[in-house]
Amino acid sequence: MAKWGLLRRSIVGDRDAEVYKISFVFPNGDKYEGDCTRTIEGVLERSGHGVHTTPDGIIYQGNWKNDKMNGFGRLEHPSGAVYEGEFYNNMFHGTGTYIFTNGAKYTGQFCENKLQGNGEFKDTQGLEWDGTFHYTAAPGLKLKLEM
């Protein structure tokens, strides 16, 4: 059974859209604390800033729109992988940084959860590479050398 608390916070932007601060436990054990609005149909959906956690230890803290991760946020996985950057419709999309479980790090462009566009990659040995990424390929990737 879902448990939730609701506190009316304020009216922002559209005069018909009231923003509520909620604490909600989903039937699967996921938890959400943060802002939400009521749709035209009367359904509450995540909108604004909030934190969503799962029983498995996945944590998302950031912006929501239309009940999806949208805008800037940080997603942490219990494996140690972390993404911080822009989201669109629950996907890494825009500029961000992904830290892999082995400590390697990519900073650059993402498109629908994939490395796409200009970016920099720091491997597990500390070597830094930059270039254009296309999903798992990086044609023309160049090692950055300090002289």
**Quick one: 83 and 141 in the same domain?**
yes
Question: Does 132 score more than 50 pLDDT?
Answer: yes
Structural domain range at position 83: 79-147
Is residue 87 located within the same domain as residue 67?
no
> What pLDDT, on the 0 to 100 scale, is given for residue 6?
44
Look at residue 16 in the predicted model and tell me its pLDDT: 53
Residues 88 and 139 reside in one and the same domain? yes
Nearest to 33 by CA among 19, 53, 17, 18: 53
b/e sequence 74-105, b meaning 16+ C-beta within 10 Å: bbbeeeeebbbbbbbeebbbeebbbbeeeeeb
Domain boundary among 17, 43, 71: 71
How many distinct structural domains can be found in the chain? 2
Q: Same domain, yes or no, for 16 and 32?
A: yes
Residues 91 and 67 in one domain: no
Q: What is the DSSP string of 65-125?
A: ETTEEEEEEEEE-TTS-EEEEEEETTEEEEEEEEE-TTS-EEEEEEETTEEEEEEEEE-TT
The model's pLDDT over 50-82, given as tens digits with 9 standing for 90+, comes to 999 999 999 999 999 999 999 999 999 999 999
Q: Give pLDDT tens digits for 78-128.
A: 999 999 999 999 999 999 999 999 999 999 999 999 999 999 999 999 999
Quote the pLDDT of residue 145.
78
